[in-house]
A and B are shown apart, each in its own frame.
Chain A
Amino acid sequence: MIISIASGKGGTGKTTIATNLAVAMAPEVKLLDCDVEEPNDHIFIQPRITYTEEFGLKVPKVDMGKCSLCGRCQEICQFKAIVVVGKSVLTFPELCHSCGGCFEVCPEGAITEVDRAMGIFERGTRDGLQFAYGSLYVGQVMAVPLIERVRAEIESGMLTIIDAPPGTSCPVISSVKGSDFVILVTEPTPFGLNDLKLAVGIVKILDIPHGIVINRSDLGDDKVKEYAKEEGIPILMEIPFSRQIAEAYSRGKLLVEELPGWREKFIHLYERIVDYAGKS
């Protein structure tokens, strides 16, 4: 089963839910941090890294000895990543989506594809729990290809937990698509509710069963609960605000290891998800 953790709004507690759920279910679990812009799971998991690769995306390289300046590469490129200027061809690797169009269209075979480094991918373990994440290099624009690389670690038949980035656009879709269940983490505030509704829009488009976890559940109002009831979305767990929890989080500590009772709560969360998703 694949369970993804998402939220429209940032800072609602995705990382807390993903890391604690994974550790509570260990060792038969894989945790994938798909928030490649700001990955945080490794801070809490402290994995022993067993594999590192530099992740690259294919971008065009033009052999001017073969190029006839016909301009077809410029014509096919939708992203303005390759342009004929006078007697040379300029490429803008940071704009390239690696679609391969220029490479396919070039009649002279003057274009080859070379790797452009975008970030780091790492794999590791923690007491049998399997962990992988990606970290985009600073200044890089596109998150999705690295997210796809992290998702290539999904193994069928194994419980996989995916920590998605915040927001509602393509990086979120890439992270959660194909999941069996999505946990939407929110807080009971007007911002939390607004962004929760956007996130529900995504899981409805993708047609994935989903439920809500309310974090800092005692700071705000009742509107999230009213909304969940109207929409028939189950509330799977509530985490009240506590200085103890906030402090443990600030030091990179896990609730299931620091505070009594939380391991059981996260195992119970998993059992409820199994009920709603209809599989384990």
Chain B
Amino acid sequence: MREKADVKELIVISGKGGTGKTSLLGAFASLAENKVLCDADVDAADLYLILEPEIKDRQDFQEGHKAVIDKDRCTECGKCRELCRFHAISPEFEVNPIDCEGCGVCVYFCPVDAIDFPIKTCGELFISDTRVGPMVHARLGIAEDNSGKLVTLARQQARKLAKEKGLNLILTDGPPGLACPVIASITGADGVLIVTEPTLSGHHDMDRVVELANHFEIPAAVCINKYDLNRDMTETIEEYARDKGLPVVGRIPFDPSFTEAMVQKQTIMEYNASCSAAQAVQGIWERLRSTL
């Protein structure tokens, strides 16, 4: 599949939230050429706040089902309550949509077919233009399930868009954490950049995503944001990364310019390309580009 090999995808993840994934990805968006942007943090998508996309196309994201009991048909026999392992059915025979897992066991076993099982619309997917290139982003409905599938869908759209437009790079902003959405965001990628901070929590959470990247055999690199808040911890983390065979692609100093740029709806490269943090980010980008 030569076509697939021509488009490279880089994902920024962190394990711990709030280490600067989105600010960093925004900066890369200013620096990289011929790319598509993809926001895979569908739970709390923030990249659009900097890049102000103009939406060109939107589609509903439908996935899974929810049980709904029709009171007119229900004989209150209690079979559904007995079988539901998610305690989603009340003594009044109403399904709590938040607790319903969509497993369909109640639907299947209801002796009078009183339970409907409609498909759910759980979010939206957008294809947009921004001042730094095309972008795919999504919004999961509040309290919805299936974020991993929406992440996969967003990444597929980004790849399709890259091929259509003849672009050879996808820059993807990943979600925090370790489970379903993160796994969906890194599988099959060409590389991940792990952004951490020099704290015990940052170290702990990074160790787990390093293990995850190894588990799925995806090449990973590490950079440390706000490195000067604890220089000893920065050294410890860098040593750990090297022991694991991961390249350390840079250190970014603590710099309120990141927040100031965000308030101005700009990437840090647009806001002040000569500040120390922007210089550090540029160095990181150049090292990453040469490895991709």
Give A residues with C-beta under 8 Å from B.
8-12, 15, 37-38, 40, 43, 76, 78-79, 97-101, 104-105, 136, 138-143, 165-171, 173, 177, 187, 189-191, 194-195, 198, 201-202, 205-206, 219-221, 243, 246-247, 249-252
Given A40-B204, A104-B83, are A195 and B177 also a contact pair (CB < 8 Å)? no
In contact, B18 and A76 (Cβ under 8 angstroms)? no
Given A143-B179, A167-B175, are A250 and B233 also a contact pair (CB < 8 Å)? yes
In contact, B208 and A138 (Cβ under 8 angstroms)? yes
Give B48's nearest chain A residue, CB to CB: A194
Residues in B neighbouring A38, C-beta threshold 8 A:
15-16, 176-178, 201, 204-205, 208
Q: How far is the CB of A219 from chain B (nearest CB, A)?
A: 5
Residue from B19, B83, B143 having most chain A Cβ neighbours under 10 A: B143
In contact, A166 and B46 (Cβ under 8 angstroms)? no
In contact, B18 and A10 (Cβ under 8 angstroms)? yes
Residues in B neighbouring A195, C-beta threshold 8 A:
44, 46
Q: How far is the CB of B27 from chain A (nearest CB, A)?
A: 14
In contact, B178 and A37 (Cβ under 8 angstroms)? yes
7 smallest CB-CB distances across A and B, nearest first, come from: A10-B17, A11-B18, A99-B103, A250-B230, A167-B43, A250-B199, A37-B177
In contact, A43 and B201 (Cβ under 8 angstroms)? yes
Docked Cα-Cα span, A166 to B22, in Å, equals 15
Give A9's nearest chain B residue, CB to CB: B44
Q: How far is the CB of B109 from chain A (nearest CB, A)?
A: 7
In contact, B44 and A190 (Cβ under 8 angstroms)? no
Docked Cα-Cα span, A143 to B147, in Å, equals 12
Give B200's nearest chain A residue, CB to CB: A252
5 residue pairs of the A-B complex, CB under 8 angstroms, read: A12-B18, A40-B200, A142-B179, A142-B180, A221-B263
Dominant SS at the A interface? Answer: loop
Residues in B neighbouring A79, C-beta threshold 8 A:
103
In contact, B19 and A11 (Cβ under 8 angstroms)? yes
Interface: B256 (CB within 8 A): yes
In contact, A169 and B18 (Cβ under 8 angstroms)? no
Interface: B142 (CB within 8 A): yes
Residues in A neighbouring B49, C-beta threshold 8 A:
190-191, 194
Residues in A neighbouring B142, C-beta threshold 8 A:
168, 198, 201-202, 205
7 additional contacts (CB under 8 A) given A8-B44, A38-B16, A166-B17: A101-B105, A136-B179, A138-B178, A138-B212, A143-B177, A168-B44, A190-B262
Interface: B94 (CB within 8 A): no
Q: How far is the CB of A255 from chain B (nearest CB, A)?
A: 14
Q: How far is the CB of B16 from chain A (nearest CB, A)?
A: 6
In contact, A194 and B178 (Cβ under 8 angstroms)? no
From A99, A177, A190, B101 is in contact (CB under 8 Å) with A99
Size category, B interface: 35 or more
Q: How far is the CB of B93 from chain A (nearest CB, A)?
A: 19
In contact, A169 and B17 (Cβ under 8 angstroms)? no
Interface: B144 (CB within 8 A): yes
From B147, B200, B216, B262, A189 is in contact (CB under 8 Å) with B262
In contact, B104 and A40 (Cβ under 8 angstroms)? no
In contact, B140 and A168 (Cβ under 8 angstroms)? yes
Q: How far is the CB of A42 from chain B (nearest CB, A)?
A: 9
Interface: B108 (CB within 8 A): yes
Residues in B neighbouring A246, C-beta threshold 8 A:
226, 229-230
Interface: B211 (CB within 8 A): yes
Give A16's nearest chain B residue, CB to CB: B201
In contact, B143 and A202 (Cβ under 8 angstroms)? yes
Given A219-B256, A219-B259, are A168 and B43 also a contact pair (CB < 8 Å)? yes
Docked Cα-Cα span, A100 to B101, in Å, equals 12
Docked Cα-Cα span, A100 to B49, in Å, equals 43
Docked Cα-Cα span, A249 to B230, in Å, equals 10
Residues in B neighbouring A206, C-beta threshold 8 A:
98
Residues in A neighbouring B183, C-beta threshold 8 A:
139, 141
Docked Cα-Cα span, A256 to B215, in Å, equals 39
In contact, A100 and B85 (Cβ under 8 angstroms)? yes
Question: Using an 8 Å CB-CB cutoff, how does the interface string of B135-172 with A read, 1 for contact, 0 for none?
Answer: 00000101111011000000000000000000000000
In contact, A11 and B263 (Cβ under 8 angstroms)? no
Interface: B265 (CB within 8 A): yes
In contact, B43 and A37 (Cβ under 8 angstroms)? no
Residue from B176, B178, B215 having most chain A Cβ neighbours under 10 A: B178
From A37, A105, A138, A170, B145 is in contact (CB under 8 Å) with A170
